[in-house]
Structure 1
Amino acid sequence: METLIVVVIIFGLLVSIHEFGHLVVAKRSGILCREYAIGFGPKLFAVKKGETVYTLRLLPIGGYVRMAGEDPEIVDVKPGQSIGVFFDRSGKVNRLVIDHLESYPDARFMTVEHCDLERELVVTGYEEEDGPLVRYSVDHEATYVSDHQDFQIAPIDRQFSSKSLPKRFLTIFAGPFMNLVLAVVIFIIYFNIAGIPSDAPQLGKLIAGYPAEQAGLHSGDQVLRLNGTKMDSWTAITKYIEPRPKQKITFQIRRDGHVKSIDLVTRTRTGNGQTIGVIGVYQPNYYSLPDSLKMSVSQTFFWIKMELQGLGKLVSGGFNLNQLSGPVGIYHATGEVVAQGLILVLNWTAFLSINLAVINLLPLPALDGGRLFFLIVEALRGKPVEPQKEAFVHFVGFALLMVLMLLVTWNDIQHLFNP
């Protein structure tokens, strides 16, 4: 249960930050954002603030920002249709009732001859069967009522497709970018709690029951020499100890201004086919806010590089599909991380945020990277790809991604039962 709660919190954070990036840049670009949703499926909670409905949905497996113009607009008022209209003080239509007219007796009713809520912002028609044709201007921020719900109209200048190419590009790119920003912020928190690794020739935290603690060494001791060999860094200390399993080593240290010599015998540890010497000491750490920022950016770029190298191996055939993990594998791995404490959960969350950003930026249909790819093609061609063709490519890509997700999930389940 603890793992499930942590997984929901982590994925909720990653998705909400990702979609928040899309939302903020879209709004700054003047795009009408109808809904900001965390999760898919039935609504659990909804609140409207300004133009946007903020919803929490049942299935915590993603999220979306529904922008005007990305899908065909819901309202479609046809000639001959009866509607009701309300007016503001200037005489413009500020509300159109599309159906259930009997529920709005205060409206002025008319039979539509022509209605354009995107470009002209006008509605013409007849209020009486033999009456004259009337023409009303529609307010830029008017709403229409469908099935007793109010929706804001989306004039062409408020739609995603009408914005300049740079604005559309930044709107899509903002989601993955915010995941990278989140990773940097989490790493800053992590390094300010756990400390920044130092290469100073000094002892960090000691592990109880290991040779260093048993011999009387202390955290913070400065290592001067090992068996008479001068030590000038933590790297030099580890390089000296690891090739000497079960060997006696004399530590010459400085503690509180005094030089001491302490003997110990290293322990052995076997892993990856190698046997090395260990004494039970962690690398020394120090605390610095400016250095934690530098380290966080460096760590983020390191994991981006590792992700890209892994993807490169996948494309070149040097990476086995069975090594990929889906939701089940991530859930299992998160459980193992949770068991090791909060500090590692922070590190894991930052890694997942980077992973989400990199995967989303791949030029694959149905992902942000796929949409960015079509925008780049538009920039090169000087005109956009036909919407029907782009929609078809995204549909096929989404279907293939779902197939891949099923395969990866099946692999995860097999690994759980046949480790």
Structure 2
Amino acid sequence: MLKTLLVFLIIFSIIVIIHEYGHLFWAKRAGILVREFSLGMGPKIFAKQAKDGTTYTIRALPMGGYVRLAGLNEEAEVQPGQSMGLTFNNENQVVRINLSESIDINELPVRLDRADLVNDMVVDVYEQGKEELITYSVDKEAEIIERDGTVIRVAPLANRYESASVFNKILTNFGGPLNNFILSIIAFAIVGFLLPGIPTNSNQIGQIVENSPAAHAGLQAGDKITSVNNQSTKNWQELVDRIGNYPKETVRLEIQRNDQVIEKQVQLAENEQGNGSLGITISESTAIKDRLLFGFTATYRTFIMVMSALATLFTRGFDLNMLGGPVAMAQATSTVANKGMIDIIAFLASLSTNLGIVNLLPIPALDGGKIVLNLIELVRGKPISQEKEGLVTMVGVVLVLILMIAVTWNDIMRAFF
């Protein structure tokens, strides 16, 4: 159990970090202030602010993570009526606003009346024990100490999400899933170099199983089966499909051996699934090019498999059994954790592709939903109001939360009852 938990946390953390870094990278390229890059949820354990204003945090619950972009439906962090401490520079500009309970003795204690940290960059405050309203200008790189002690930077309008071009907004939202696909390609490429050989998916025979129909018929490694009962087989999948249609039946095979074309009548066997079986293995390549390409081909196959499964939800009806949550992921992790490094890396690659696709679904609160809003802005020539966008996002969060609860409950019922 401990090994499974450790492997799960490592895999999940890698995928989340890579995903969120994609958002961070493109946001910074667009000039958007990334206020926080967090690994995990809940109470803060560690925080460190970089020179560019991004605070990197590790939080107590190792489930997920997030990138906090300035202005992206972010609640106003400074509210009227709050007590706070102000720190000034030599020009009497506010350089730090302390909202935490730990007010430093060198800070000026005040009560906020109004704050504009987007356009005018000012705060209207009442000093402690005084009734005179005073206005202080705020430095454009001033810091805010939040209630939990996290230090973030103020975000003038030019550095906020809403000021970025539509193209940069799309890149910022697409950056997370894009990184998931890149991670999948790299991980599968690593698997390609760890495997003894890479399946070629060709119609060429790799090895002949002893005492199999292929062995009895005199087939040889390297033979290419070009047709089964006059049905062409251009690749391994077509060959498997054709053979599978004739359990325990005699089939006519057309074989290319070097420069010769040979025809053979073969009595097939039947495998455990009730399909026809010839007793051959797929050919493999050890070329470096094929090992590298395995990263792309395996990611593509995983992508198509996930998309097909999602399409089935619409064509055959919604079924919770086709979805898996944390419990299903934990079960799958338990299986691969006991197999070895190759299976663990391949599992990470598959999960990364899954996460990339799911996040691109046009559901509010997911990256795909945000991209839909970006496209609407592109068509309208202006963004929808922040109030409406916030409402749409909230609806999406509720729907996703309900779905997660339903999927998790279904996983528990399948696993334990």
Report the TM-score when normalising by structure 2: 0.77
| Corresponding residue number in structure 2 for 1:261 | none
Matched, 1:412 2:411: yes
1:73 aligns to 2:76 (yes or no): yes
Describe how 1:172-187 pairs up with structure 2 within 5 A.
172-187=173-188
The residue type paired with residue 184 of structure 1 is I
Maintained 8 Å contact 1:84/1:101? no
Q: Distance in 2 between matches of 1:145 and 1:413?
A: 41
1:58 aligns with 2:86: no
AA partner of residue 173 (structure 2): I
User: Given that residues 86 and 98 in structure 2 are in contact (C-alpha distance below 8 angstroms), is that contact kept between their aligned partners in structure 1?
Assistant: yes
Q: Say whether the 8 Å CA contact 2:4–2:334 is kept in structure 1.
A: yes
Q: Is 1:297 the counterpart of 2:292 in the alignment?
A: no
Q: Secondary structure at the match of 2:78?
A: coil
Deviations 1:324-380 (A, max 9, x none): 222212221222233333222222221111111111111111211111111111111
CA distance in 2, matches of 1:315, 1:224: 39
The aligned residue for residue 46 of structure 1 is: 47
- Distance, in Å, in 2 between the alignment partners of 1:113 and 1:327 is 45
Cα distance in 1 for residues equivalent to 2:41 and 2:132: 48
Larger Cα-atom Rg:
1
Q: Could you say which residue in structure 2 is the equivalent of 1:3?
A: 4
Deviation at 1:302, TM superposition (A): 2.9
Whether contact under 8 Å (2:180, 2:355) holds in the other structure is: yes
Instruction: Give, as a single letter, the amino acid of the residue that structure 2 aligns with 1:408.
Output: V
SS in 1 for 2:168: helix
Give distance in 1, aligned partners of 2:331 and 2:325. 10
**Partner residue of 1:24?**
25
1:22 and 1:314 map into 2 onto residues whose CA distance is: 29
Q: For 2:361 and 2:29, locate their aligned partners in 1 and report how far apart those are by CA, in whole Å.
A: 25
Q: Distance in 1 between matches of 2:243 and 2:57?
A: 56
Using CA pairs below 8 Å that are at least 6 residues apart, which structure has the higher relative contact order?
A: 2
**Are the counterparts in 2 of residues 169 and 375 from structure 1 also a CA contact under 8 Å?**
yes
Q: Tell me how far apart the structure 1 counterparts of residues 241 and 32 of structure 2 sit (CA, whole Å).
A: 58
1:270 aligns to what SS in structure 2? coil
In 1, the alpha carbon distance for the partners of 2:332 and 2:170 equals 34
Range 96-105 or range 181-190, more displaced: 96-105
Aligned counterparts of 1:78 and 1:222: Cα–Cα separation in 2: 80
- Give 5+ residue unaligned stretches, structure 2: 226-232, 258-266
Unaligned runs of 5+ in 1: 226-231, 255-264
* Offset from partner CA, 1:152-197 (integer Å, 9 cap, x none): 2211112112212111111111001110111111111112222321
User: Shift of the alpha carbon at 1:283?
Assistant: 2.2
- For the residue of structure 1 that corresponds to 2:186, the secondary structure is helix
Tell me how large the CA RMSD over aligned residues is: 4.4
Quick check: 1:15 aligned with 2:12?
A: no
Matching residue's letter, 1:155: P
TM-score normalised to the size of structure 1? 0.77
Per-residue CA distance 1:301-328 (angstroms, 9 max, x = gap): 3322332222222123345332222221
Q: 1:327 aligned to 2:333?
A: no
Contact 2:55/2:151 (CA < 8 Å) preserved in 1?
Answer: no
Amino acid at match of 1:197: P
Q: Secondary structure of the residue that 1:154 maps to in structure 2?
A: coil
Q: Report the CA distance between 1:245 and its aligned residue.
A: 6.0
Residue of structure 1 in register with 2:164 after alignment: 163
Aligned length, in residue pairs = 399
Residues of 2 paired with 1:372 and 1:36: CA distance? 21
Match of 2:117 in 1: 117
Give the 3-state SS of the residue equivalent to 2:272 in structure 1. Answer: strand
